[in-house]
Amino acid sequence: MIKLLYPGMHIKRWILFGLVGLFIFLAGIGVMNEVRPDGSHPLAVRIAEWITANVHLGLRPGTMGLVLTIVGIAFCLIAFICLMQSLVHALDPETRASELPDIIYRSRKLARGRRIVVIGGGTGLSTMLRGLKKFSSNITAIVTVADDGGSSGKLQRQLNILPPGDIRNCLVALADAEPVMTELFQYRFRDSVQPGAPATQENALEVATGDSIKPKRDSGFGEGLRDHAFGNLLIAAMCAINNGDFERGIRETSRVLNIRGRVLPTTVTHVGLRAEMEDGTFLDGESTIASSPLKIKRVSLVPAEVCPLDEVIEAIDKAEIIVMGPGSVFTSVIPNLLVKGVPEAIRRSKAKKVYVCNVMTQKGETNGFSAHDHVRAIEKHARMRVFDYVMINTARPNHELLEKYRKVGAVLVEPDSDRIKSEGYRPLQGNYINQSDVVRHDSNLLAADIMRLLD
C-alpha cells in the first residue's frame, strides 16, 4: 500500500479524492441531521441512535463514532485491494497484485523519460536499445532500409516491401511482451542444423551479426520458408493488411509486441547500397559489399536523392540525446546519413550527440580500422560533424575469444582516443563489452554511461 503513494503513480489524487468524498458524505449526514423536521428520523440517524442505545463497549459515543469511521475506511481499502487483485488476475494470471504498483510506477516513470534517438541498424542498434529502454520509453530508433541479404532480401524481391530484418530486431529489443512472444518473433525456419551440431566459425560470425543459429530438428520446411524469420513474415503480413503501407505495418506490429518507444525506417523509398572499392570498381548490394575482400573507399545510395520520413526529422529535432551505432559502419550507420536532410537535422539539433564505436573490426568492411578510422569514415560520408562524443571500449576480451575472431578476419578495434581528441571530439572510454561466446557491447553498461552523460 505504501508503494501506491510513490510520486508519479497518479493514484494519490484519487485516494485524496475518495477521502474528500467521505468527508462530504459525513458532512451531508450532519447537515441533514441539523435541518430534519422535528420528529423525523433519517435512516442514518436511526442507525446511530440504535447503536448508541444498544451497543455498550465502554466507549463514549464520540469515540465509538471514530472507531466505526476507521473500520468503515478499512473495509473500503480491503474492498479496493481485493478488487485490484481480481482485475489483475483477470488481465494477467501470471502477475501478482503486489507487483502492480511496481508495474505502474515503472510505466509512469519511463513515460516521463528523456527523449532519445538511436540511429543505425543490425544487431548493434538492437543491443543498445535493450539497455536504453530501462531508462525511458521515449525512444525513437531510426533504422536503415538498405539491407538486401537473407530473409529480408527475399521478402524485398518477392513482395516488393522494404527489408524488415533490422526493424524486426529493434522491435524485439524494445518489446515489453512475454518472452515466448519475442522468441516466436525471432524464430527462424531452418532444416539443416541437427541437434547437438557443433558451432562453427561461420556460426560465430552469424551470432556476432545478429542471426544466431540455434540447433533445430530437421523440420522439412523446404525452400519456401527456409531461413525466413517469423517476425519478418509478420511485418510483411501487416504491410499487406494495411494496403502496402510499410510504416503503418510497423506501427501495428509494435502494438503486438507492446514496445517501449517506436521504430522508424529512415526512408520509405526503396534504396540500394553501392560501394566504390579501393581498386576503383563498384559493387551493388549490402551483402555483396560486406563479403568483398577489397577495402571500401566510399558508399552511396541508389537512387542518391531520397527523402526521410517527416517523423524522423521531427524526432531528431526534439531529441535530448542522439546516439549513432554501434553497428557496421558502412552498411548500418552511414546509410542513414546518406538520406537527404538527416545529417543536417542532426547537425542543427541541440541534443547531445554520441557515436558508439564498434568493439571488433568487421571482415570485408573495416579491416584494420581503429576507433579514429571509424570516426573519420562517418564524418567523410556525412560531409559534416554529426557527433561530439565518442564512446570507446578499452577492455580486452580473453585470448581464446580474440583468437576465434582472428581466424575469421576480425580483430579488436584499437582505442586511439588521443587521435580522436586531437580532432575536437570528446572520447568517453570504459569497459563496454559483454564476453560470452562472442564479443559484443554490454547494453546495460552502454546505457548507464549514455544516461550519465545526458544528466
**Residue 109 reports pLDDT greater than 90:** no
71 with 118, same domain?
no
Q: Is residue 314 part of a domain?
A: yes
**pLDDT tens digits, 387-425:** 999 999 999 988 888 999 998 889 999 999 999 999 999
Q: Quick one: residue 227, left, alpha or beta (phi over 0 = left, psi -120 to 50 = alpha)?
A: left
Residue 22: inside a domain: yes
Residue 55 contacts by C-beta under 8 Å, 6 or more apart in sequence?
64
Do 117 and 101 lie in a common domain?
no
CATH number of the domain where residue 276 is located:
3.40.50.10680
Same structural domain, 119 and 70: no
Residue 273 in contact with residue 259, Cβ under 8 Å?
no
CA of 332: how far to CAs of 337, 341, 403, 416, in Å?
A: 10, 17, 26, 22
Helix (H) or strand (E) holding 312: helix 310-318
Query: Helices in 133-209 by DSSP H: which ranges?
Result: 150-159, 165-174, 179-186, 201-208
Looking at the structure, tell me whether residues 122 and 31 fall in a common domain: no
50 and 139, same domain (yes or no)? no
Q: What is the grid cell recorded at 187? A: 524464430
> Which of the listed residues 53, 88, 105 is the one where a domain comes to its end?
105
Task: Look at residue 215 and tell me whether its pLDDT is greater than 70.
Answer: no
Of the three residues 105, 122, 154, the one that is the final residue of a domain is 105
On whether both 136 and 10 belong to a single domain, the answer is: no
Domain-located, residue 6: yes
Cut 0.85: pTM above it: no
Asked if the structure places residue 163 within a domain, the reply is: no
Residue 315 structural domain: 113-144+266-454
Task: Give the confidence band of 1 by pLDDT, cuts at 50, 70, 90.
Answer: low
Contacts of 240 (CB under 8 A, 6+ apart): 159, 249
| Chain-centre distance for alpha carbon 70 | 46
Task: Look up residue 298 and give its three cell numbers.
Answer: 566510399
Task: Say yes or no to pLDDT of 217 above 50.
Answer: no
Total domains in the chain come to 2
Return the pLDDT at 2: 75
Residue 257 is assigned to a structural domain of this protein:
no
Q: Do 60 and 130 lie in a common domain?
A: no
In a domain, 252, yes or no: no
Taking the C-alpha atoms of residue 77 and residue 16, their distance in angstroms, rounded to an integer, is: 13
Domain end: 54, 77, 105, which one? 105
| pLDDT tens-digit series, residues 304-336 | 999 999 999 999 999 999 999 899 999 999 999
Assess whether 321 and 429 both reside in one domain: yes
What confidence tens digit (pLDDT) does each residue in 351-372 have? 999 999 999 998 878 988 999 9
In a domain, 51, yes or no: yes
Say what the pLDDT of residue 369 is. 94
**Quick check: is 239 in a domain?**
no
**Higher-confidence residue: 85 or 306?**
306
The answer on 139 and 19 residing in a single domain is no
Query: 388 and 308 in one domain?
Result: yes
287 and 403 share a domain? yes
Same structural domain for residues 423 and 316?
yes
